[in-house]
């Protein structure tokens, strides 16, 4: 099983370019080129308050859970999970969070991704997802999955994953509640 030290890896830089988003590598860091001026980097302690505002706006999960969730990533020498923060200029506009799946070889689960509602549809979510994929691939990991709801409220979420080349791999009926299926999307990082 590949080892990983997510916090100690090179930062992920995002450069502005007039061309559509493409991924390249430069030196020991990662570069994601997009149309907008943004920066994606590993999450820092000073990101917690602005990320809580993102969570309050998106209602992905209660923002008061965030400090405990990100604590190990910020304090351990070799954290198991990976947190990325997206900035538009100097403003924090989103994040994604992934962790390795227990008892697997190189399979990770993107457990959360959120972008401020006023910044959605501008490529920040796509850039976060691609930065995560490149970061995991460069560490030797091979599969990224993501779980979401099958309800109508999550139709845009499922469309987002499909547009980013994730394949609907499984459906667990009534998982989240009666009539609310769990949809599992899969993507190879090879």
Indicate if 132 and 101 belong to the same structural domain: yes
Indicate if 55 and 118 belong to the same structural domain: yes
Structural domain range at position 160 = 143-190
Q: Using the predicted structure, report yes or no on whether residue 7 has a pLDDT greater than 60.
A: no
CATH number of the domain at 50, please. 3.40.630.30
Indicate if 149 and 136 belong to the same structural domain: no
Indicate if 170 and 126 belong to the same structural domain: no
Indicate if 60 and 88 belong to the same structural domain: yes
**pLDDT given at position 6:** 44
Span 80-99, pLDDT tens digits:
999 999 999 999 999 999 99
Indicate if 61 and 105 belong to the same structural domain: yes
Indicate if 106 and 163 belong to the same structural domain: no
Span 121-145, pLDDT tens digits:
999 999 999 999 999 999 999 999 9
Span 14-71, pLDDT tens digits:
444 434 444 443 333 455 555 557 899 999 999 999 999 999 999 999 999 999 999 9
Indicate if 134 and 153 belong to the same structural domain: no
Full-model pTM: 0.82
Indicate if 182 and 91 belong to the same structural domain: no
Q: Helices 66-75 and 48-58, interaxial angle, to 10°?
A: 140
Span 153-162, pLDDT tens digits:
999 999 999 9
Indicate if 103 and 181 belong to the same structural domain: no
Number of domains in the chain: 2
């Amino acid at each position: 099983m590949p080892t990983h030290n997510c916090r100690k890896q090179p930062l992920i830089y995002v450069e502005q370019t007039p061309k559509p988003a493409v991924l390249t590598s430069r030196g020991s860091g990662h570069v994601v080129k997009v149309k907008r001026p943004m920066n994606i980097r590993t999450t820092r302690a000073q990101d917690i308050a602005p990320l809580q505002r993102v969570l309050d706006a998106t209602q992905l999960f209660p923002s008061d859970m965030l400090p405990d969730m990100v604590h190990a990533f910020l304090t351990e020498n070799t954290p198991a999970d990976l947190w990325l923060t997206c900035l538009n200029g100097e403003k924090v506009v989103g994040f994604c969070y992934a962790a390795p799946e227990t008892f697997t070889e190189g399979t990770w689960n993107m457990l959360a991704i959120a972008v401020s509602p006023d910044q959605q549809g501008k490529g920040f979510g796509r850039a976060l997802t691609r930065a995560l994929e490149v970061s995991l691939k460069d560490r030797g990991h091979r599969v990224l999955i993501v779980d979401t709801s099958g309800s109508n409220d999550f139709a845009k979420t499922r469309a987002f994953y499909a547009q980013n080349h994730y394949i609907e791999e499984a459906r667990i009926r009534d998982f989240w509640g009666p009539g609310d299926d769990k949809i599992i999307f899969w993507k190879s990082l090879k």
